[in-house]
Amino acid sequence: MFQLLHPTHSKLEFLRTKHLILTPPNAYLLKTFGSTVRSRLDIFFHAKKTQASKEVIPLHISIRPNEDAIVFNSLIRDKWDHEERRRLPFEIQSLVLIDVKFDYTGFLVTINDEWLKMYEYRYPVTSANFLTIK
């Protein structure tokens, strides 16, 4: 179960595969996800409502417990850019809180209020009107 906190929505609870329309991103817009991670978890900030076809994805966060990795990437002009990989900063099956802020230069991702990743924009963040978690 995920909980999503967003300025234009009170609190949403949902299972995997959730599409959410975001307001146009502003600096310091915060999204918080809370979930227990047991298997792969993908979070997409993207331009289209579905992921049926390739599109622009300014930020893809992929938590991969089987690889002990968290991966950051962007999809630009129908091609994935270079992955940025880090070791998982938390124990598998523990509650994970993920905060994503839109800053002036990039996404600021914080996990459990202690692990930090600055992911520079590779594509204009204004194209990220949808959020999908699966």
Q: Give the domain CATH number at 8.
A: 2.60.120.200
* Range with top average pLDDT, 34-38, 48-52, 84-88, 92-96: 84-88
How much is the pLDDT for 73? 95
> In whole angstroms, how far apart are CA 98 and each of 24, 70, 107, 114?
20, 12, 12, 10
Residue 48 has pLDDT above 70, yes or no: no
The domain containing residue 11 runs over which residues?
Answer: 2-133
Which of 17-21, 41-45, 101-105, 114-118 shows the lowest per-residue confidence on average (mean pLDDT)? 17-21
Is the pTM higher than 0.85? The answer reads no
DSSP 85-102: EEE-SS-TTSEEEEEEEE
pLDDT at position 82 over 70: yes
- Number of compact structural domains in the chain: 1
